Amino acid sequence: MPTRSVTIGSSVGLHARPAALFVKAAAAAPVPVTIAKPGGNPAPANSMIAIMALGAKFGEEVQLTAEGDGAEQTLDELAALLATDLDEATEAPS
């Protein structure tokens, strides 16, 4: 089963806007994806409640797992998203 380890790049962690963007991308993925902290239980990546409960902070590592056709590409895309500061990238212009 393909996996990716990624360090959270959003300065606020997976909270509020970054979490919503990640969940939206995971929900649109062609395969089911789970996310977990090292040693933790995997949670569905398309669940806002599960992502918020994960409590992943800036600089912490999480592991993404997927299975099925397109899993490798899906994990690459989601890992790249998590490694980005999503809060800064989505702020409204002043």
Radius of gyration of the chain (CA): 12
| 15 noted as active-site residue | yes
Q: What CA–CA distances, in Å, run from 80 to 61, 85, 93?
A: 13, 10, 23
Q: Which of 10, 13, 14, 15 is catalytic?
A: 15
Local structure of 88: helix, strand or coil: helix
Catalytic residue set: 15
